[in-house]
Structure 1
Amino acid sequence: MQFRTLQDIVRLCEERQCSIAELMIVEQVKETGVSREQVVEQMTAYYEVMKEAVHRGIHEDTVSRSGLTGGDARRVYDYLNGGETAAGSHSTRAMSYALAVSEVNASMGRIIATPTAGSCGIIPGVFVSTQERFGWSDEQMVLGLFAAGAIGYVIANNSSISGAEGGCQAEVGSAIGMAAGAVVELRNGTPQQAMHAVGLALKNTLGLICDPVAGLVEIPCIVRNGLGAVNALAAADMGLAGVRSAIPSDEVVDVMLQVGRSMPSEHRETARGGLAQTPTGRKITEELRRRRENQGG
């Protein structure tokens, strides 16, 4: 790729007079050696999987194998359809869709890791709900995914998208930033506005630990996806309104790496700290252990 930083993306887009999505498509064609049509076709297939996961999570049973989670997406969706919500209909819909995809993941369903399985609900939740709100075509949404991919590429190469390496800020935080920047572009914001939205989103999740109860991608991961979708929409609105990240977004990405490295191992996907080690977290872990032993016997 000809870009390594978020500011590189802005510069190249301005020089070429193109969108972030177009920049990413051209660079991906060069990187992979396949045709533009094949690159777009693959991304289109990914978006179909995202939409299917949203639909399944809302309309089908998604109780996880552990029995710990499932059904919250439908609860929020029913609440949305019952009247006015505190967060507003679009935010609540994005939340329910993000929960839906995360619950499909926990129930061993088919999802797209965006950028990881632990953060798989945020981009689909934001994209599908926003598409419904503004009436955008699938083709437009696929372009949005390329924009999100360019942002994710920079974060992954300059920081981390791994919870084991950088905490939940690396997974959920990255997904929020990717979604926020892409929504800015989808709503005709400038590349500079999109990158400010990324910085604003990432700053809001700095230091977020990865503390899965019983080591499962369920508690608190699923709820963080739902709330992350709302954060992404808020960061996009800030960027579109002209709010700037006082700390350059690339510096925020660098700080995310530093913060992740300084986290104790207990707070990086080991289930040995945070919510996983609360009295209730330990009780859940022990109950699941006993259940596995009984099933094994």
Structure 2
Amino acid sequence: MTSAFTGLLAYPITPLAEDGSIDLDGLEALVATAVSAGADGVVVLATSGSGVSFDDDERDAVVRGAVAAAGGAPVHVGTAGESAHRVVARARAAIHAGASGLVLPPFAYLPLDDAEVRALFARVATAVPGAPVCFYNKPVQLGVDVSPDLLATLRDDGSVVAVKDPASLPSRPGGRVPELRAAGVAVGLSGDTALVGGAEPADAWHTGLAALAPAEYVAVRQARVRGGAGADDARAWLLGVAHAVAGTGRPVTALHAVAALLGTPTAPPRDALVPLTPADEAALRDAVARRP
């Protein structure tokens, strides 16, 4: 089994019909468009894809549809769950459905300590031996901030091959790619405003916005790899959209709104309890309308 937690990894939303059912055609179109535009892989059912809001049959349909639409490009799957038992079941199902790898946050009702994190990832490694895993580090949301030492231990345990880390946090606005690389894993960054705005070089960018505007994001990523020159119009537009999304305080709901504005009809995500304000909707419309 191979994996590619490198390059530009697009995280599509899971489009929904008005009755709340999954629009598989819409999802497959997002995946196919991202891959054809040059994205190096996709990740479904993670945060942008509202993965925890779907049952087992729905998740299976999403993974199989994405794998078919990707045409051989890597399809990774978010496997967060409310218990280790659920995580293991979702990991097995994802690999059985054709996933190339797993994106796993240390999610639990209470924040996990290092020993508990190691036990969780060990259970996944035992359940799906050989399946590559990307550690999804979400310290603000989950209360766990993976250290380079723990990453190295998880790598040595035989499961984790990559990490997805915030490109910027108040405690470390400049990121920490060199420290994480010392753990011997591929280092990917997340956070659209930081990525587009000039985050430090990394092995991968993990981004939901790239699944909605892949051509622009590919151009910006390629310019960054070349040394930063070029794609100025695409960068300015993406940065404006990213700021508008972040400004809502409800990023997944905002990504659904941006998807609709860019031609992928969708209802709001199932787990959205509060809709966007009229001011937020107007800001998103204005930002999207500036597309070069």
TM-score range relative to shorter protein: under 0.3
Which structure's CA Rg is the greater one? 1
TM-score, scaled to structure 2: 0.26
TM-score, scaled to structure 1: 0.26
Structure (1 or 2) with the greater helix fraction: 1
